[in-house]
Amino acid sequence: MNAKGKKKRKDLFILLIVVILLGILVPIPYYIEGPGSTVQLNELVKVNNKTDQEAGHFMLTTVAIRRATPLTYFMRYLPFHEGLTKEELYGTGTSDAEYTNLQHYYMTSSINSAIELAYDAAEESYQLSYNGVYIMSILEGSDFDDKLEVGDTILSLDGQTFASSAEFIDYVQQQSIDQKIEVVYERDGKKHTTSGKLMEMPETKKAGLGISLVDNTSIETDIPVAIDAGEIGGPSAGFMFALQIYTQLTGEDLRDGHEIAGTGTIAPDGTIGRIGGIDKKVVAASKEGASIFFAPDDTIDPVIQANYPDMTSNYQEALKAAKKIDTKMKIVPVKTFQDAIDYLEGL
């Protein structure tokens, strides 16, 4: 081979390496969702400054979300994987920071609900505090669009504080559209003040700030409880956190040595709610060696069912996934926290 041929071959080799590196390293505006990990909750939860030492574990399950590259994009065709655009994952107009804030809020809120439920069920005392209104999103056209941010907590309006988001909304709706209002809010632990005009809310035709909101609460307990969720976000671990806390509060050995995974939101009244990606969580739990998997047996609203006739409950989705991977793990339907306790007491 002459010198010119060698140079051409070398150039082609370098080009191939560059193409491969670009395919592996350069991100594209697309995400791959697939089975994540399982986490043993005795590693995250301490009650009365103690960890759970009983045999077996309660485990939360996660979904893994990865930014795609030109090569990893094709993972979307693997079993139990799917591709999502940024808008599908984050929601229209939501930034990375706003998405992270929302996931953090969902986790904090689910932990508070888990503590409240577990302490109620174990008949232990706690104190729930209302901290203000947490901003979930800001509508286009709101006068506060460039003043407030997702993740801010509104503490007062025109110097008035409120005991709930219902009181907050009632006060705002009594004001006039285009009326100027002073807002005191907290961001990153610091108080700030701003003001702006109220807008006409599309749904109610009444005055509003142009935000969606939820209650920002905190909880204190006489028996100390500490939960370190790390980088895990979202609301879907609430039910399993409640099981872990309740078990440690009562001292009951509910697991009987089993490895028990599960998922589901939790409400203070014990209702277990639907979550996304349960098929992927079934795969993750089975790989980790779980013998039992708790799945929300949610009832689908008739209106939603009419619009999405193929939608099934989380329990049915979990059963389908378990059958597909031929796991020996038992899928257990639960509608309420008490359903799970009753099942565990029968082990």
As annotated, the active-site residues are 236, 281
CA distances, 194 to each of 18, 148, 198 (Å): 51, 8, 13
Token representation of residue 316:
């049915």
Contact between residue 260 and residue 129 where contact means Cβ atoms under 8 Å apart:
no
197-200 — which CB contacts under 8 Å span 24+ positions? 197/143, 198/143, 198/172, 199/139, 199/141, 199/142, 199/143
Separation of alpha carbons 32 and 267, rounded Å: 30
- Burial category of 267 from C-beta neighbours within 10 Å (exposed 0-12, middle 13-18, buried 19 and up): middle
Token representation of residue 146:
């460039």
Contact between residue 218 and residue 131 where contact means Cβ atoms under 8 Å apart:
yes
Contact between residue 246 and residue 58 where contact means Cβ atoms under 8 Å apart:
no
DSSP state of 297: -
Our CA angle for 125, 235, 253, nearest 5°, is 50
Which backbone phi and psi does 71 adopt, to 5 degrees?
Answer: -85, -45
Close Cβ partners of 342 (under 8 Å, ≥ 6 residues apart): none
Task: Count other C-beta atoms under 10 Å from residue 161's C-beta.
Answer: 13
Separation of alpha carbons 40 and 9, rounded Å: 53
Residue 13 three-state SS: helix
Tell me which H or E stretch contains 154: strand 153-157
